[in-house]
Each structure stands twice: as structure tokens, then as C-alpha cells.
Chains A and B, each alone.
Chain A
Amino acid sequence: KAGVTQTPRYLIKTRGQQVTLSCSPISGHRSVSWYQQTPGQGLQFLFEYFSETQRNKGNFPGRFSGRQFSNSRSEMNVSTLELGDSALYLCASSRSGAVYEQYFGPGTRLTVT
């Protein structure tokens, strides 16, 4: 079956702009989690959605937001981009929400100039 897909795979934006990243989970999966991966901070949890509800959010500023649609697809938005937002953004989906059932997508590489 198809895996987790993320679009776009690569993105270049300018400071101050906003960006929207998309994640399509595996069919039947209702939970989507987002992570930011940077060389300095490593992998950090952004937020998790289950059946269109955000259940938890990591320690990120309000510029980072997300949503989940009724078909379980999820988007995350970063407003007023900063250079430090350059990162690989990973999403993961699972059927029940359990972390050991999560499948990760290949990520979106965001570069802020």
C-alpha cells in the first residue's frame, strides 16, 4: 500500500514569508504527527492530530500551526519565516495513534534565505 507522502519535497522561501506543507497519511490512518529535524536541535515534536483534533503540541512558537482534514490529510503552516526555521519537516501517521505503529514520510526540506 502507498506510504506517507509529503509535498513538496523541497522548498525555498525568504525570511518573513509563510509556508504550508502537506502530509497525506496511509489510507485508514487517523493520527498524523509532525516533527522538525535540524542539525542543532535534532528531532523535535511539533504537534499531533487525531480525527481532526489537535491533541498535543510541542514547545514551538505560535507561528507554527497545523490542521487536519476529514480525510486525515494534514497541513502545517509556518508564518513569518525565520532563518532558523530551515529544517527537514517530517510527518508520521498511524491508525490508532500509538507511536510504535507510526510510519514516517520522507520529509519536506525547507530552506529559508
Chain B
Amino acid sequence: GDSVTQMEGPVTLSEEAFLTINCTYTATGYPSLFWYVQYPGEGLQLLLKATKADDKGSNKGFEATYRKETTSFHLEKGSVQVSDSAVYFCALSATGGGADGLTFGKGTHLIIQP
């Protein structure tokens, strides 16, 4: 079945450092790919998405490019802030339809130190 693999962390960085969180997936067909963020005590928020190969999703300074040849969707940010501290989840949807549900990675706990 479909699966998503991501580094679990915790990942600790200093403020203004460059961030990369790796995400690779296994799926049949052409899934849609997503990054979600979860702040303490809150639900998930969609951070960015890409629905086809070579698409780049971006939001709030975060970027990720859908690489079909390497089945990857790595999350990057050029300069992180303390407020970026959260848990980040990579996810896929086989069709993009809610009926199929999302397949999530285990999540990466990101800690940004001032």
C-alpha cells in the first residue's frame, strides 16, 4: 500500500538557519503530496501542496518540489524563526479526493532556538 517516510527528529536548529526535512513516498499512480504543520495543542494546518510532478508548493517561506523520479517531496525554508517550531507531517493522497483519506508520515518535530 501507499506509504510516506520522513525523518522523525527532533530536529534542532538555530534561528535563521536553513531547513530541510526529507520526505519520500511509495504510491501507485500519481498521488497529490502535502505538508501539514501541527502547533502544540492544535489540529493540523495545510502548509503547502503539489498535485503533479515538478510542481512546487510554497507558503510562508516554505517550499517543496514534487520529484517523481526520486519519489520525494522535501520541505525547505531559507531562514527559520522560533515561531516555526512545530511538528511537520508529509502526506499523500492517491486521488486528491477526501474519500481516500490521507497517508501521513510519522512527523518531524522541529525546534528552533533563538
Q: Which residues of A contact B (CB under 8 A)?
A: 4, 31, 33, 35, 42-45, 48, 50, 55-56, 58, 90, 92, 94, 97-100, 102, 104-107
Asked whether A99 lies within 8 Å of B93 as measured between CB atoms, the reply is yes
Q: Once the chains are docked, how many angstroms separate the CA of A44 from the CA of B4?
A: 12
Residue of A nearest to B99 (CB): A55
Q: List 9 A-B contacts (CB under 8 A).
A: A43-B107, A45-B101, A55-B99, A99-B96, A99-B101, A99-B102, A100-B32, A104-B45, A105-B43
Q: Please give the distance in Å from B26's CB to the nearest CB on chain A.
A: 15
Q: Please give the distance in Å from B66's CB to the nearest CB on chain A.
A: 13
Chain B 41-57 residues near chain A, CB threshold 8 A: 41-46, 49, 51
Q: Is B25 an interface residue (CB 8 A)?
A: no
Asked whether B32 lies within 8 Å of A4 as measured between CB atoms, the reply is no
List A contacts of B96 (CB < 8 A). 98-100
Asked whether B32 lies within 8 Å of A99 as measured between CB atoms, the reply is yes
Chain B 72-114 residues near chain A, CB threshold 8 A: 89, 91, 93, 96-107
Q: Please give the distance in Å from A68's CB to the nearest CB on chain B.
A: 13
List A contacts of B102 (CB < 8 A). 35, 43, 45, 99
Q: Once the chains are docked, how many angstroms separate the CA of A73 from the CA of B98?
A: 16
List B contacts of A50 (CB < 8 A). 98-99
Asked whether B46 lies within 8 Å of A107 as measured between CB atoms, the reply is no
Asked whether B43 lies within 8 Å of A107 as measured between CB atoms, the reply is yes
Classify the interface of chain A: helix, strand, loop or mixed: strand
Chain A CB within 10 Å — which of B89, B93, B97 has the most? B97
Asked whether B98 lies within 8 Å of A31 as measured between CB atoms, the reply is yes
List B contacts of A48 (CB < 8 A). 98-99, 101
Q: Once the chains are docked, how many angstroms separate the CA of A58 from the CA of B70?
A: 28
Asked whether B43 lies within 8 Å of A99 as measured between CB atoms, the reply is no
Q: Please give the distance in Å from A56's CB to the nearest CB on chain B.
A: 4
Asked whether B99 lies within 8 Å of A43 as measured between CB atoms, the reply is no
Asked whether A106 lies within 8 Å of B97 as measured between CB atoms, the reply is no
List A contacts of B49 (CB < 8 A). 100
List A contacts of B98 (CB < 8 A). 31, 33, 48, 50, 55, 92, 94, 97-99, 102
Q: Once the chains are docked, how many angstroms separate the CA of A103 from the CA of B34?
A: 13
